[in-house]
Structure 1
Amino acid sequence: MQKTHGLNELPFLDFHPDQFGQLSMADYSWYKYGYGEGYEEGKTKRTDELKKKAKNAGYKYGLSNEDIWTPNNYMSNTSVKEAYELGFREGRVKAVEKLKKASEDDGFKAGYNLIPLTIPDDLPKVYEASFRNGYENGYKAKIKDAFQEGYMIHYNSLEYDPNTYLKYPDIQQSYKEGYEMPDKYQKIAFEIGSKNEALIVPNEIRENDYLLEMFYTHYQKGKDAWHQKKELYNTIFYITVLTLIIVGYFLYQRFKSKKL
């Protein structure tokens, strides 16, 4: 009697005692049990190998983003067929993710380069949302970089053109704010120093060496102005006191001479 295949796809032989006359019934029972266990173990291992191979094949085919197709050599075994289909679904998910990412990247480039939003004619509808999302993110990134661009114009002492990005008010505003940012912090630093207050560096400029140096410089200028102002007040005070003393002395002398 033959049964299904084992590890090497050989038929399973159902042994009988008369074929092993040299074995006692007890020995034969153990032999038959061990043979059967080994056969089933080999069969399971063989099936697992086929399932792994089928899943990998399904995954690779799923990456092609084609409709599902199961080869005939995976159809005869249900578990192997299911492994192939599972791999295909995982591959299809990965393929869709890649296409969504590619669509989003294309949208980002278009938004960043200020190209009018137009969905490509050959782009499937399922990826339109990804393209639009990428476009919005690209436009936002452009706004952020325009701020840095304006800042670098100031940093390099280049001429500022207020008409830059004229067609894009939000980007133009960011560009302007970037250019004016150093002046803003110059005023803040000078004001703190001119009041002789402790130096507190704003968090947003702690990582910017150029702004930090500028901030310290104008803080010190403010401190110098405070000291000059203090010295002026002291000078005025001393002159006033000295004047009062002198005037008082002369008045006293006049009063004293009249009494004599």
Structure 2
Amino acid sequence: MTPGTFELLGFGPQGWGFLLLKAAGTTIAAAICGFFLGSLFGLLGAALKLSSLLAPRMIGQFYTTIFRGVPEILIVYLLFFGGSVAVTQVMNLGGFPGFYSLPVFVIGVIAIGLVSGAYQTEAYRSAFLRLNRGQIEAGAACGMPRHLLLRRIIAPQTLRFALPALGNIWQSVLKETSLLSVIGLTELLRQAGTAAGSTRQPLLFYGIAAILFLIIGRMTGAALGGLERHLAKPWSR
């Protein structure tokens, strides 16, 4: 007897519900890790592009040009195959023969981080250029140390101005996790494909995957929107 729709989506012996939710969790984890790794790359890239020296600016421009211009899936493939070769060579030189590779989750996070970092670079750079220089100069004139100036004036306002762009980048990162299925990571799209092939119900499972992506995107987008509204309020102190 062929299982019904609710049975296929349930948590019973023939249901795929648990596996789909687990894959959705992997998607969220990869997106969060990749986004925050991209934030580190983005801050570093923005610092390089805002430097008064030519060499750092050229490095920052090279980074953003490469990772914004090359297709994301190609970055994933390059890291997947090239990373395995690099790790194997390093281990062999260290006296450990054989073949070595990084976990696909780590490779996926690094790929997403590099690509999103290139876009976050421009978001942070543009936000920094919007800062009121008078506030920075006033803080410096009052004898405020550089780290305190960064923490109290530069960082909060830069984040406030960058947040709308970061929200759009987050949505792109969330969708880019589906590319990691090509290297074997069991995220939402790959698990939906496995279920569709096993049950011959592609419309059902790909539709469920689309709905889950929409739900995750809407929920996280609402959270970022709330943070944006909170930071837009005038300070009470």
Does TM-score exceed 0.5, indicating one fold? no
What is the TM-score with the length of structure 1 in the denominator?
0.23
Highest Rg: 1 or 2? 1
Bigger relative contact order (CA 8 A; separation at least 6) = 2
Structure 1 or 2: larger helix share? 2
TM-score (norm 2): 0.25
